[in-house]
Amino acid sequence: MTVRCTSCGITISGEAYTSFPCPENGNEEIVRCKECRKQSNKYKCPECGFLGP
Ligand SMILES: [Zn+2]
Ligand SMILES: [Zn+2]
Protein backbone atom coordinates (compact mmCIF):
# COMPACT_ATOMS: atom_id res chain seq x y z
CA MET A 1 0.00 0.00 0.00
CA THR A 2 1.37 3.38 -0.97
CA VAL A 3 0.22 6.80 0.05
CA ARG A 4 1.14 10.20 -1.19
CA CYS A 5 2.18 13.12 0.99
CA THR A 6 -0.41 15.87 0.67
CA SER A 7 2.23 18.56 1.18
CA CYS A 8 5.11 17.59 -1.11
CA GLY A 9 3.51 14.85 -3.20
CA ILE A 10 6.14 12.18 -2.68
CA THR A 11 5.09 8.59 -2.49
CA ILE A 12 5.43 7.17 0.98
CA SER A 13 5.81 3.44 1.34
CA GLY A 14 6.27 1.87 4.73
CA GLU A 15 7.88 4.95 6.22
CA ALA A 16 6.64 6.92 9.16
CA TYR A 17 3.92 9.31 8.22
CA THR A 18 0.87 10.89 9.71
CA SER A 19 -2.61 10.83 8.32
CA PHE A 20 -5.70 12.46 9.65
CA PRO A 21 -9.04 13.62 8.33
CA CYS A 22 -9.28 17.16 6.99
CA PRO A 23 -10.05 19.54 9.88
CA GLU A 24 -12.45 21.42 7.67
CA ASN A 25 -14.72 18.83 6.14
CA GLY A 26 -13.57 15.64 7.84
CA ASN A 27 -13.84 13.64 4.64
CA GLU A 28 -10.54 13.92 2.85
CA GLU A 29 -7.55 12.20 4.36
CA ILE A 30 -4.54 14.45 4.79
CA VAL A 31 -1.19 12.66 4.63
CA ARG A 32 2.09 14.17 5.72
CA CYS A 33 5.48 12.56 5.41
CA LYS A 34 7.94 12.83 8.25
CA GLU A 35 9.93 15.52 6.48
CA CYS A 36 6.93 17.77 6.03
CA ARG A 37 5.92 17.17 9.60
CA LYS A 38 9.38 18.08 10.80
CA GLN A 39 9.44 21.24 8.71
CA SER A 40 5.80 22.08 9.40
CA ASN A 41 5.15 22.37 5.68
CA LYS A 42 1.76 23.57 4.63
CA TYR A 43 -0.79 21.17 3.27
CA LYS A 44 -3.86 21.82 1.23
CA CYS A 45 -6.93 19.66 1.28
CA PRO A 46 -7.58 18.48 -2.28
CA GLU A 47 -11.29 18.53 -1.69
CA CYS A 48 -12.13 21.79 0.08
CA GLY A 49 -8.87 23.70 -0.30
CA PHE A 50 -8.30 24.03 3.43
CA LEU A 51 -4.77 25.22 4.18
CA GLY A 52 -3.00 23.92 7.24
CA PRO A 53 -1.61 23.58 9.75
ZN1 LIG B 1 5.93 15.56 2.38
ZN1 LIG C 1 -11.09 19.42 3.30
7-19 pLDDT tens trace: 999 999 877 899 9
Output the pTM of the full model.
0.84
Q: CA-based diameter of the chain, in Å? A: 28
39: helix, strand or coil: helix
Give Cβ neighbours of residue 15 (< 8 Å, ≥ 6 apart). 33, 34
Give the per-residue pLDDT at 14. Answer: 77
Q: For residue 15, give the DSSP letter.
A: S
Ligand nearest to the CA of 29: 2
Give the pLDDT score at 53.
Answer: 86
DSSP-derived letter for residue 40 is T
36 CA to centre of ligand 1 in angstroms:
4
Q: Which ligand is nearest to the CA of 40?
A: 1
Distance 22 CA to ligand 2 centre (A): 5
